[in-house]
Amino acid sequence: MSSEEIKDIGERIAKASRELYNNGLVKGTSGNISARVPSTETFLIKPSGARMGFLKPEELVLVDLQGKKVSGELDVSLETPMHAAIYRARSDVHAIVHTHPPTATAFGIAKTAILPLQIEMFMLFPNGIPVVPFIAPGSKALAEAVQKKIADYDAVVLENHGIVTVGETIEAACDLNEMVEEAAKIQLLVTQLAGADAVNLARLKQKFKTENPVE
């Protein structure tokens, strides 16, 4: 992997980070984003204390898959252990995004899974988006809990702590992050209009006829 390729990954991370901030998925210094460096056992991650909306490529920290800093002037993100654990568990994952979108975060606080009520959402996460019970941020226990759950899902809600999405590319992980928040908003409106009984995963699967529909 050449320095130019690593520079390109850094620039894409910074651009995605700004978009997440501008779309209201993170505020201040909250949230983090990372991307695997292809053909290596490392990944680039937002440093601790950096603002997503103003992240610069040169601020990113290079970390190995055990969560140890390889290079970079700033401290690693508090959630580096969680990112490293996901990369170790999912070789197909090349980017991870952790944000605090208001509606999806509220679902986590309410310990309520987010369901794919639209066919488009169903195509992205046919089994819904589960809630990982609260564990202290930055802890090994949280990293292990998310690692276990993310083995079967591309998106999870962290109780009292936002959401995590993964993807084959930085852009895919960010797009899914936005779709999770959109799904949460729709589910909130549906339950307000028609009650909680209108939201049922088994009925959704029956209605859409398949667990993995394609266009």
- Which residues have a catalytic role annotated? 79
Rg (Cα) of the chain, in Å, rounded? 17
HEC readout, the chain: CCHHHHHHHHHHHHHHHHHHHHCCCCCCCCCEEEEEECCCCEEEECECCCCHHHCCHHHCEEEECCCCEEECCCCECCCHHHHHHHHHHCCCCCEEEEECCHHHHHHHHCCCCECCCCHHHHHHCCCCECEECCCCCCCHHHHHHHHHHHCCCCEEEECCCCEEEEECCHHHHHHHHHHHHHHHHHHHHHHHHHCHHHCCHHHHHHHHCCCCCCC
CB 101 within 8 A of CB 181: yes
CB 76 within 8 A of CB 45: yes
Phi and psi of 112, rounded to 5°? -120, 125
